[in-house]
Amino acid sequence: MTWFGGCRASSARWPALASAPPSDQFCTSNVLCSYYNGDSIKHNIEYSSAIYYDQKTGTYSYAPASTGSSDKVDVVTNVPQGTDYAAGIHSHGAYEGSGNNEFSTDDHEAAEATGEEAYLATPNGSLLRYDNQGHEEEVSTDLPSDPNDPDRKNTNTPNGYLDKACAK
């Protein structure tokens, strides 16, 4: 099993976690979603991963993503030994209505149940964060986005998306 390396890039937009350097969690989320959201849109399936914190290296990283279907995905919990689970993250597949660009009631419920933060990569290319206390924020708008989404935040068409369209 391989693990994606963490990143240390800083972002002033991201609030600090109490026990970890600020912004790295966001950085990791954004890297992860830049990597997976395109495939999630292309194949219209949800991806899920866990962001974890490695106290030895002081970095965040994420577990290999699991895949679900167009409307659900299992949470990933198997972070490496000696690391701390920091947040859950998943994507919402392709645009099937404006609801896909928001956390679902289920998402809110899961975050509130676990008491942990949740990130969401949406079809319009935004990365959202829910703090499990009723507050959401848009933390990035530069992820791959679905050309079919009328609320698209950017023009980052997923790699291979046009190939898929031509194959139809």
Binding interface with another protein (CB under 8 A): 48, 66-75, 77, 88, 90, 96-97, 99, 104-110, 112-115
Q: Smaller CB distance to another protein: residue 11 or 104? A: 104
CA–CA separation, 132 and 9 (whole Å): 25
CB 158 within 8 A of CB 39: yes
Give the shortest CB-138-to-another protein separation in angstroms: 20
CB 79 within 8 A of CB 109: no
Give the shortest CB-120-to-another protein separation in angstroms: 11
Q: Smaller CB distance to another protein: residue 109 or 138? A: 109
3-state secondary structure of 30: helix
CA–CA separation, 68 and 48 (whole Å): 8
Q: Smaller CB distance to another protein: residue 54 or 107? A: 107
Give the shortest CB-106-to-another protein separation in angstroms: 4
